[in-house]
């Protein structure tokens, strides 16, 4: 009798685990194949408005740059600012958004706008993308962590409930 109950309990756990795995797979597939959720768009737009406000306050002007969410990055690059033929664009990596949206909003958007500002002011040299001037502008634009690359420790710690 005890063994039969144990087998049923074990079978129930297997069925429940399979359902959880199937839901996670479906959620992951849906995120990859659909546009980002409206809540993500709203958070990105809100942070962009904050950055533009701080740019106006600290530099006396502001300019909006196209923010493009893409899943075409290779690896774990969180964002990229491009400057080509006088046009500036900011790209955000969709692949890391689901797991690191807070980090993108708190750090990456201001980080990339600081690059855009350096391009606009023509205050850059090849290979000098994270200069002291860039770091100062990143802070002035509301970046919480103005480092050269993503700090994986901050991303992991930001997910913990304490």
If you average pLDDT over residues 75-85, what whole number do you get? 88
Q: Is the pLDDT of residue 155 over 70?
A: no
Please return the burial class of 153, using the count of CB atoms within 10 Å of its CB with bins 0-12, 13-18 and 19+: exposed
pLDDT tens for residues 56-71? 999 999 999 999 999 8
Q: Are residues 21 and 61 in the same domain?
A: no
Q: Are residues 45 and 108 in the same domain?
A: yes
Q: Are 80 and 90 in contact (CB under 8 A)?
A: yes
Helical axes 38-59 vs 94-103, angle rounded to 10°:
60
Q: Are residues 92 and 127 in the same domain?
A: yes
In whole angstroms, give the CA distance from residue 5 to residue 17: 18
Q: Are residues 15 and 81 in the same domain?
A: no
Q: Are residues 93 and 129 in the same domain?
A: yes
Q: 60-69, 73-82, 114-123, 151-160 — which one is most confidently predicted on average?
A: 60-69
Q: Are residues 56 and 134 in the same domain?
A: yes
Confidence of residue 51 (pLDDT cuts 50, 70, 90): very high
Q: Are residues 6 and 70 in the same domain?
A: no
Would you state the torsion angle of the CA atoms of residues 104, 78, 135, 121, taken in this order, to the nearest 10 degrees? Answer: -100
Q: Are residues 29 and 65 in the same domain?
A: no
Q: Are residues 70 and 125 in the same domain?
A: yes
The residue range of the domain holding 5 is 1-34
In whole angstroms, give the CA distance from residue 61 to residue 55: 6
Q: Report the CATH number that the domain containing residue 150 is assigned in CATH.
A: 3.30.2010.10
Q: Are residues 81 and 128 in the same domain?
A: yes
pLDDT tens for residues 95-124? 898 888 999 999 999 999 999 999 998 866
If one counts the domains in the chain, the total is 2
Q: Are residues 70 and 30 in the same domain?
A: no
Q: Are residues 23 and 100 in the same domain?
A: no
Place of tokens 């500036």: 88
Helical axes 109-121 vs 132-140, angle rounded to 10°:
120
In whole angstroms, give the CA distance from residue 139 to residue 145: 8
């Amino acid at each position: 009798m005890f063994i039969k109950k144990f087998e049923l309990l074990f079978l129930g756990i297997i069925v429940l685990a399979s359902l959880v795995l199937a839901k996670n797979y479906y959620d992951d597939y849906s995120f990859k194949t659909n546009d980002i959720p409206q809540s993500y768009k709203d958070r990105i737009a809100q942070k962009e408005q904050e950055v533009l406000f701080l740019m106006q306050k600290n530099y006396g002007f502001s300019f909006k740059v196209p923010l493009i969410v893409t899943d075409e990055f290779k690896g774990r690059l969180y964002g990229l600012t491009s400057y080509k033929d006088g046009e500036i664009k900011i790209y955000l990596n969709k692949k890391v958004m689901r797991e690191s949206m807070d980090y993108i909003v708190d750090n990456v958007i201001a980080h990339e706008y600081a690059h855009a500002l350096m391009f606009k002011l023509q205050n850059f040299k090849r290979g000098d993308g994270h200069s002291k001037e860039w770091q100062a502008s990143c802070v002035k634009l509301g970046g919480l962590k103005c480092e050269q690359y993503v700090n994986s420790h901050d991303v992991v710690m930001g997910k913990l409930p304490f």
